[in-house]
A and B are shown apart, each in its own frame.
Chain A
Amino acid sequence: MLAVNFLLLAAVLFCIGVFGVIARRNAVMVLMSIELILNAVNLNLIAFALMNNNQEGHVFALYVIAIAAAEVGVGLAMVLMIYRNRKSIALDELSEMKG
């Protein structure tokens, strides 16, 4: 039962994260939303690890945290560069990649 609660929490966090990624215009907010999604996944990993009583899930969660840190680092650097160039970090103004 405990695991179900964890999974529900993770689902909520994931949904909040997804909403943030889709709806927020601020790039920093999007990055933070991505963090939410990643952490929702982490929660899931740990919950399943506990449920199945093995270690791989923990290891994988730690791995994800490390990746997430790096990702945030790169992401924030990019945001910073975008801000420097355009004085804005509003994502809807960034459509250069339009096809």
Chain B
Amino acid sequence: MVAAEETYKALELSSGWFLENAWLIALIPAVAFALIIAFGKKMPFKGAEFGLVSIGASLVIATGAGIQWMQRTDSADHGGEAAQGAFNGIRGALRAAEGAEAEPFIEPVVSQWVWWQNSGLEFGIGSHIDGLSILLLWLVAFISLLVQVFSLDYVRGDRRYTHFFAALTLFSSGMLVMVMASNTVQLILGWEIMGLCSFMLIGHWWEDAYNSHSALKAFFTVRVGDVGLLIGVAILFFGSNQWAVDNLGSNGFDIRAIQAWALSGDGSSWTLLMASVTLFIAAIGKSGQFPFHTWLPDAMAGPTPVSSLLHSSTMVVAGVFLVARIYPVFWEGFNIANGGLSFIAIIGGITIVIAALLAFVQDDIKKVLAYSTVSQLGYMMLGLGTGAWLPAVFHVFTHAFFKCCLFLAAGSISHSGSHHSFDMKKDMGGLRKFMPITFGAWCVSTLALTGVIPFAGFWSKDEIIDNVGDAGYTFLFWVGLFGAALTAMYMTRATYLTFFGEPRGAAAGIHLDDDHGYATEHRETLVTAATIDRKLVSVGAAPQSLGAAAAHGDHDDHDGDHGDHHDDHHDDHGPHESGKLILVPIVILAVLALTSGFANPTPLAGDALGLNLGEGVELVKKYVEPRPEAVSLDIAAGHAGESLQLLEPGGFVPQSESGGEGEGAKKTGCGRSTPEVGTVCYFPAVSHAVPTLSKILLSLGVVAMGYAAAIGFCIAFYKNKHPKLVGLTERSRIARSGYLFLKNKYYLDALYQNVFVYFVSRPLAKATYWFNQNVIDAAVDGVGAGGKRAGEFVYKNIDQKLVDGAVNASGTIASETGHGLQPIQSGRVNHYASLLFGAAAVGAIVLVILNVS
């Protein structure tokens, strides 16, 4: 008993203040948002200080929580054995027999309050902290902080500087709320707040119709996906609610209940499939997967810090997070366990390739990066869809650093190198001399993105590809490799155009002030063959020939009432390195792009490459990936629904069947079959590929080939202007049509805007309104008019003629009779008397006759 008591304490200690109060991580930025809106303009730094301090505080708490989570895991791993022994000798012995293979399930730390109640059930809001949320909480807070620091300089002097920081802070808050969501409604809350903020931030310079249009498009496209979210949440709620109430004492919104329910075998496969499909539609919309990827490039209309935040750790990652969070649902719904070719994997695979191809024809550096993001999100989805949960989540982690770094570098270039232009062909080139630090960071991040060892991307992206192959999806494995080669190629092209060759346009010091070229540049909808030549030929042409050296739309300046904006740059027009506030975040991110992969290096890969990494280096695997262990129902239910109280880690019930088997993990209940009665699982037993040297070399070789081909092409086409390549699109019908197809984004935009949106907003809406006015309303009016006419008829014919006629007639008759009888009333007494007597005589005669007879 004493021992049990002590163990209990030890387990309790393994939580901590940060874990229990993790909700502060999301709350602080939300409060800061309110403060910025209320007092921002009166503060010395126009509200930016609230944003920075709040995100900083969030980062501190997230770091603390992360450390405590690691302690918690460690204590469970080491102390758990003792606890088992103390609680139950037999179980302890069983566990000991299993050896180190068996890792205990780490209970998430849940703190929540009653948020709303409905039909007697109470629904909570609060924090649900496990490895996945800790990883993303920290990531979001960290990236947000760097982006805010970057923004201090980048948007300095903007007309809506305060609002910008307000929205940026709320944006981070929304993501944090979503990441720590303990139930699906809270998840929707964070999800939609991000949608709102993306609308505000993408449309930050809303004076220009293009920007507001892009903002609308982003919000609207995501909203289309949200239909799936609403329906999916409804399906999950009603599917799992009864089970959750009975078994766990929670309800069908609770994420843990949903996880456990999905693996319990209680729900029908049809329900799970429908929930998976609908929820994945939401993820498609949010994460810009094919075919809803079209809003992402347009989202580049927002300021660069927004793009970098949006594309690295927030917003687009939300869809991936959604899938990762309630992974058991997808696992069961798409039957990933048994190698079903899942919807997720297919969409992911398609997205990888189509987005990478689109990146080749972009002239806007941010759009290249945007498509690159789409493509990388495709990898994450591919991983999730094939059971490679860990590499996918890890890719979220590493991708955030190098993609954020790339965007910030692009921002730095436009800020200081190309005078607010993002056009690689017109306003860049040769910038490596002027901006060495930016160039260095860019190169590191590019190498990370393309998956070159030992940069971060290698450890995550190659793991995904490897796992896809290992799980038996051979075709998708090759798709992944092909995508990796494409990535290397388009990044080479972007790097070459930006940093190598001769400076062009603004990069050469030529630019036109107050030119709205940027806006028009974006506005192209359908490119025709005629416009291609001009665009292609203009590449590498002498700077002087550029009549339309498009400056950035200079949204900040064109009203002329903010003369102080970018004053420093107006004086010296040449490209130069950016200031410290911009460079520091970039450099930090570049360092992480180089090193963050070592958070979860595969030891075998390390060994194969001669890097002796030792055991236990897979930190993300150890601390983030939930353990596929069944948890006793008594313990799971005992702690559910407790408000504002730590849920202590429970005891662990080993699977009896797994006791003696060697490869127990795959055969245990979690994910491969329904768990035993009395136990629940929260996470399926995903498999992990064992990397081999041959595969690593294969993928590295593919990337190297991609680099080689791209460098060769760039030099031949852009530098030497090889006659066979230049003008190819004019000469070759196939090349031209392919180019047009890509340039027009597979005509998807045209399909959506000119067909769907146009149809709904114009003919359909007009027809509905016509129907309303001319059928329903006309019917109402018709009833009214008909009633009026009927009334008139009744009045004229029935009332006036019949009813009133009868009344009048009686009067008339009386009157006429009177007139007829008038002569009798002669007024002469004699007449009256004679009448009297006559009448009497007649009467007498009648009486006599009657009496006689």
Contact yes or no, A94 B827, CB < 8 A:
yes
Report the separation of the CA atoms of residues A21 and B826 in the bound assembly, to the nearest whole angstrom.
16
Q: Which residues of A contact B833 (CB under 8 A)?
A: 18, 21-22
> Does chain A have a CB within 8 A of B821?
yes
Report the separation of the CA atoms of residues A91 and B830 in the bound assembly, to the nearest whole angstrom.
8
Contact yes or no, A99 B834, CB < 8 A:
no
> Does chain B have a CB within 8 A of A98?
yes
CB 8 Å contact bits of B814-830 with A (1 = contact, 0 = none): 00001001101111111
> Does chain A have a CB within 8 A of B837?
yes
Contact yes or no, A98 B825, CB < 8 A:
yes
Q: Which residues of A contact B829 (CB under 8 A)?
A: 30, 91, 94
Q: In residues 796-853 of chain B, which contact A (Cβ within 8 Å)?
A: 818, 821-822, 824-830, 833-834, 837
Contact yes or no, A21 B830, CB < 8 A:
yes
Contact yes or no, B837 A95, CB < 8 A:
no
Contact yes or no, B827 A95, CB < 8 A:
yes
Report the separation of the CA atoms of residues A89 and B408 in the bound assembly, to the nearest whole angstrom.
136
Minimum CB–CB distance for A86 against chain B, Å:
14
Report the separation of the CA atoms of residues A24 and B827 in the bound assembly, to the nearest whole angstrom.
16
Give how many A-B residue pairs fall within 8 Å (CB-CB). Answer: 37
CB 8 Å contact bits of A1-33 with B (1 = contact, 0 = none): 000000000000000001001111100001000
Query: What interface size band does chain B fall in?
Result: 10 to 19
Contact yes or no, A22 B837, CB < 8 A:
yes
Q: Which residue of chain B lies nearest to A96 when distances are taken between CB atoms in the complex?
A: B827
CB 8 Å contact bits of A68-99 with B (1 = contact, 0 = none): 00000000000000000000000110111111
Contact yes or no, A94 B828, CB < 8 A:
yes
Q: Which residues of A contact B822 (CB under 8 A)?
A: 99
Q: Which residues of A contact B821 (CB under 8 A)?
A: 99
Return the contact of A92 from the options B824, B825, B830, B834 (Cβ within 8 A).
B830
Q: Which residue of chain B lies nearest to A14 when distances are taken between CB atoms in the complex?
A: B837
Q: Which residue of chain A lies nearest to B831 when distances are taken between CB atoms in the complex?
A: A22
Contact yes or no, A95 B828, CB < 8 A:
yes
CB 8 Å contact bits of A24-66 with B (1 = contact, 0 = none): 1100001000000000000000000000000000000000000
Q: Which residues of B contact A21 (CB under 8 A)?
A: 830, 833, 837
Minimum CB–CB distance for A78 against chain B, Å:
11
Q: In residues 679-696 of chain B, which contact A (Cβ within 8 Å)?
A: none
Contact yes or no, B827 A97, CB < 8 A:
yes
Q: Which residues of A contact B827 (CB under 8 A)?
A: 94-99
Q: Which residues of A contact B834 (CB under 8 A)?
A: 22
Minimum CB–CB distance for B356 against chain A, Å:
117
Q: Which residue of chain B lies nearest to A23 when distances are taken between CB atoms in the complex?
A: B830
Contact yes or no, B825 A22, CB < 8 A:
no
Contact yes or no, B830 A22, CB < 8 A:
yes
Minimum CB–CB distance for A97 against chain B, Å:
4
Q: Which residues of B contact A99 (CB under 8 A)?
A: 818, 821-822, 824-825, 827
Q: Which residues of B contact A18 (CB under 8 A)?
A: 833, 837
Interface centre among A95, A96, A97, A99 (most CB of B within 10 A): A99
Q: Which residues of A contact B825 (CB under 8 A)?
A: 97-99
Contact yes or no, B828 A91, CB < 8 A:
yes
Minimum CB–CB distance for B817 against chain A, Å:
12
Q: Which residues of B contact A24 (CB under 8 A)?
A: 830
Report the separation of the CA atoms of residues A91 and B828 in the bound assembly, to the nearest whole angstrom.
7
Q: Which residues of B contact A30 (CB under 8 A)?
A: 829-830
Report the separation of the CA atoms of residues A21 and B835 in the bound assembly, to the nearest whole angstrom.
11
Q: Which residues of B contact A22 (CB under 8 A)?
A: 830, 833-834, 837
Q: Which residue of chain A lies nearest to B819 when distances are taken between CB atoms in the complex?
A: A99
Minimum CB–CB distance for A12 against chain B, Å:
15
Minimum CB–CB distance for A89 against chain B, Å:
11
Known interface pairs A96-B827, A97-B825; 18 further A-B residue pairs with C-beta atoms within 8 A, sorted by A's residue number: A18-B833, A21-B837, A22-B830, A22-B833, A22-B834, A23-B830, A24-B830, A30-B829, A91-B828, A94-B828, A95-B826, A95-B827, A97-B827, A98-B825, A98-B826, A99-B821, A99-B824, A99-B825
Chain A to chain B: the 8 pairs with minimum beta-carbon distance, closest first:
A99-B825, A98-B827, A95-B827, A97-B827, A21-B833, A22-B834, A99-B822, A91-B829
A-B CB contact pairs (8 Å), 27 listed: A18-B837, A21-B830, A21-B833, A21-B837, A22-B830, A22-B833, A23-B830, A25-B830, A30-B829, A30-B830, A91-B828, A91-B829, A91-B830, A92-B828, A94-B827, A94-B828, A95-B826, A95-B827, A95-B828, A96-B827, A97-B827, A98-B825, A99-B818, A99-B822, A99-B824, A99-B825, A99-B827
